[in-house]
Structure 1
Amino acid sequence: MLLKRALAASLVAGAIATTGATAIAPAAIANVQVGSSGWQWGNPLPQGNTLRAASFAGATGYAVGDFGTLLKTSDGGATWSGLPVGTFQGLTIVQAVDASTVFAGGGCVARRSTDGGETFEAVAFTPVESSCRAKLLGLSFLSPTLGFLLLDDGSVFTTDDGGTQFAQRTALPGTAAAGGGTAPSAIAFTSPTTGVAAARDGRIYRTTDAGVSWSLVAEAGRAVNQLWFADAEHGFAVGAGGLFMRTADGGRTWTPRDLGAGALDYSAIRCVGDQLCLLSTGGGAQLVRTADAGQTPGTVITPASDPIYAAAFASPTRVSALGANGATVLSDDAGATFAKVGGRLSGSYSSIRASAVRGTAFATGTVGALARTSDGGSSWTRGSVPTAGALVDVSFPSRAVGYALDDGGGIFRTGNGGTTWKTLGTGSTAVARAVLAPNERTVLAIGPRGLRRSDDGGETFDAARSRAVARAALDGVVAARGGALFAWGDRTVARSRDGGRTWTALEKPGASRRARKKLRIAQVAFSSATTGLLRDGDGRIWRTTTAGRVWSELTAVGTARVLGMATSSDSSAYLVVNRFGNESGGYLLRTADGGATWQPQFVVNEPIAAAGIAAPPGGTDYLLAGSSSLLSSRSGGSAGVRSRLTLSTPRTTLARPAEITVSGRLAPAGRSARVVVSALTPGKAGWRAQTVEVAANGTFVASWNVPRGTSRFVAQWTGDFNAAGAGSRTLDVTVRAAPRRAARRGGRRGRGRR
Structure 2
Amino acid sequence: MKSIKQTNRLRPALSAWMLTLAMLAGHSAGANAADDIAVLHAPAAVVPYASQEAILGAADTGKRLVAVGEHGVILLSDDGGRSFRQARSVPTQAQLNAVTFVGQQGWAVGQWGVVLHSADNGETWSLQRSDASVDQPLYSTYFLDDQHGFAVGLWSLFLKTDDGGKTWAAVKIPVQQGMKVKTPNFSHIFGDGKGALFISAEHGYVLRSLDGGQTWTYLSTGYEGSFWAGCVDAAGNVVVGGLRGSIYVSADRGETWSKASTPAQNSITAISTSGSRIFAVGLNGTRLVSTDGGKSFESLGHCGETSYTALSMSGDSVVPYSTDGVGSPEQVGSSAK
TM-score by length of 2: 0.75
Shift of 1:64: 0.9
Higher helix share: 2
Q: Which has the higher strand share?
A: 1
Structure 1 equivalent of residue 210 of structure 2: 208
Paired with 1:331 and 1:137, the residues of 2 have a C-alpha distance of 26
CA distance in structure 1 between the partners assigned to 2:181 and 2:239 by the alignment: 28
Equivalent position of 1:330 in the other structure: 329
Q: How do 1:313-328 and structure 2 match up within 5 A?
A: 313-315=313-315, 317-328=316-327
Kindly provide the amino acid, as one letter, of the partner of residue 217 in structure 1. Answer: L
Aligned position for 1:271: 273
Q: Among residues 115, 119, 122, which one is paired with 1:114 in the alignment? A: 119
Aligned-residue offset at 1:180: 1.4
Provide the residue aligned with 1:221 in structure 2.
224
CA distance in 1, matches of 2:91, 2:304: 30
Give 2:32's aligned residue: none
Q: Note if contact 1:197-1:204 (Cα within 8 Å) is conserved in structure 2.
A: yes
The answer for the alignment partner of 1:67 in structure 2 is 71
Name the counterpart of 1:93: 98
Q: Deviations over 1:455-480 (max 9, x none)?
A: xxxxxxxxxxxxxxxxxxxxxxxxxx
Mark the runs of 5 or more structure 2 residues left unpaired by the alignment.
Answer: 1-42
Question: In the TM superposition, what whole-angstrom CA distance separates every residue of 1:571-595 from its partner, at most 9, and x where no partner exists?
Answer: xxxxxxxxxxxxxxxxxxxxxxxxx
Contact 1:62 1:96 in 2 (8 A): no
The count of aligned residue pairs is 290
State the match for 1:103 in structure 2.
107
Q: Aligned partners of 1:59 and 1:335: how far apart in 2? A: 22
Q: What's the secondary structure of 1:157's corresponding residue? A: strand
Q: How far does the alpha carbon of each residue in 1:67-116 deviate from its partner, in whole angstroms, 9 at most, with x for none?
A: 11100111211121101222111111112333x22221211211111211
Pick closer, same or farther for the CA change 1:288–1:57 going to 2, 3 Å.
same
Verify: 1:56 aligned to 2:60, yes or no: yes
Equivalent residues of 2:65, 2:76 under 8 A apart: yes
Contact 2:260 2:297 in 1 (8 A): no
What is the alpha-carbon distance in structure 2 between the residues aligned to residue 228 and residue 206 of structure 1?
13
Note the alpha carbon deviations across 1:223-260, whole angstroms, 9 max, x for none: 1111212358332111112221223333333332112x
Cα distance in 2, alignment partners of residues 91 and 335 from structure 1: 33
Q: Aligned partners of 2:296 and 2:201: how far apart in 1?
A: 27
Alpha-carbon shift at residue 188 of structure 1 (Å): 2.1
2:284 is equivalent to residue 280 of structure 1: no
What's the counterpart of residue 245 of structure 1? 248
CA contact (8 A) 1:306 1:327 kept: no
CA distance in 1, matches of 2:162, 2:115: 16
Work out whether residues 91 and 127 of structure 2, in 8 Å CA contact, stay in contact via their aligned partners in 1.
no
Q: 1:266 to 1:37 in 2, by over 3 A?
A: closer
After TM superposition, list the pairs within 5 Å mapping 1:609-624 onto structure 2. Answer: none
Call closer, same or farther: CA 1:232–1:332 in 2, change over 3 Å: closer
Note if contact 1:238-1:267 (Cα within 8 Å) is conserved in structure 2.
yes
Judged with a 3 Å threshold, the aligned counterparts in structure 2 of structure 1 residues 115 and 327 are, in CA distance, closer, same or farther, namely closer
**Compared with structure 1, are the counterparts of its residues 304 and 81 closer, same or farther at alpha carbon in structure 2 (3 Å cutoff)?**
farther
Aligned amino acid, residue 225 of structure 2 = R
Partner of 1:255: 258
**Change over 3 Å in CA distance of 1:288–1:238 after alignment to 2:** same
Give the structure 2 partner of residue 76 of structure 1.
Answer: 80
Whole-Å Cα distance in 2 between the matches of residues 37 and 268 of structure 1? 27
TM score, norm. by length of structure 1? 0.36
Identity of aligned residues (%): 20
Cα deviation for residue 277 of structure 1 reads 1.7
The AA in structure 2 aligned to 1:292 is D
Instruction: Please give the alpha-carbon distance, in whole angstroms, between the structure 1 residues aligned to 2:254 and 2:56.
Output: 26
**Alignment partner, residue 162 of structure 2:** 160
Note the 1:355-754 alignment, pairs <5 A: none
User: 1:241 is paired with a residue of what secondary structure?
Assistant: helix
- Whether the 8 Å CA contact 1:301–1:336 is kept in 2: the answer is no
**Aligned 8 A contact 1:134 1:152 in 2:** yes
Q: In structure 1, what is the Cα distance between the partners aligned to 2:270 and 2:174?
A: 21
The answer to whether the Cα contact below 8 Å between 2:289 and 2:336 also exists between their aligned partners in 1 is: no
CA contact (8 A) 1:276 1:292 kept: yes
